[in-house]
Each structure stands twice: as structure tokens, then as C-alpha cells.
Amino acid sequence: MASILHFYGFHISQMSLAGMVRVRHIEFLCRSQGMEPTVEKFRAFYQLIRNMGFYSFGNRGTAKKFLIGPSKSFHDWKMKFFLIREEVIPIAIMFHELDKIEKEELSIPKGSDWYMNLLATPNRIFGENVLVMRV
């Protein structure tokens, strides 16, 4: 997440929840395949967009789609909103304001092994209990 924020140059509070889901989904997929998640891998699938004043990520042209059934909305997000202390994020991130986002021209590495190995997975919502471990 920090690498994405640093690359695009905006603050985490400026990213939409849907954008965060896409970033985390790539990270989880890469790690489940034993790959290091990188900005370059993320950019092979998504490009920066701006929606209702927040930054997010939309599908990149002909890149394969592997987030099946992304959430259309996040109900009750205001009840779960919290602030993150500056010390938690290990890089300096500035608030950024773009009037117009340039469309990124980037080749899609369709022949790369890592690209072909990432498989489509559904977006699943788990209850809070999934985070609880009993000893």
C-alpha cells in the first residue's frame, strides 16, 4: 500500500475504499502465489482514476480481470472510519490534487510467467470472527 501511495503521490485518506480493495487484492494474490507484490505488477492490471474527489484504480484496457465481484458499495463505512497516525506510514506522503489524470500508456506483460499465474478470485467479505484465533 505504501509503495502505491508513494508512486502515485497521494495520501491514504485520498484513496477510495474500492481502490484500497484493489491494492490489497493484488497483494494477497501475489503473496498466495509466492510472488512479491510490486507497483509494476499492480500497474499491469490497474490505472489511476479519480471518482467523486477520491483516487481509485480502474481496470487497464485489455489486462485480464481477476477481481470477481468487487463490492459496489461499502455500507456503514462511516461507523468504521478511523484516523491513522502519521508515524504508522513509513514514507512521507503529501496531499495531492490533480485537475486531470493522464491516461497511462503501459504495455501489459501478457507473456510473463507471473502475469499468467495470477488467477481470478472472487471478492469475499468475511465477518470479524475470521480475525479471531482461539488458543
- pLDDT tens for 33-81 read 888 999 999 998 899 988 777 888 988 887 777 776 655 666 666 666 6
* Pairing mode of beta strands 54-59, 67-68: unpaired
- Please report the DSSP string for 30-60 in residue order: HHHTT----HHHHHHHEEEEEETTEEEEEE-
Q: Which domain holds residue 88?
A: 2-131
Question: What is the count of structural domains for the chain?
Answer: 1
The pTM of this model reads: 0.66
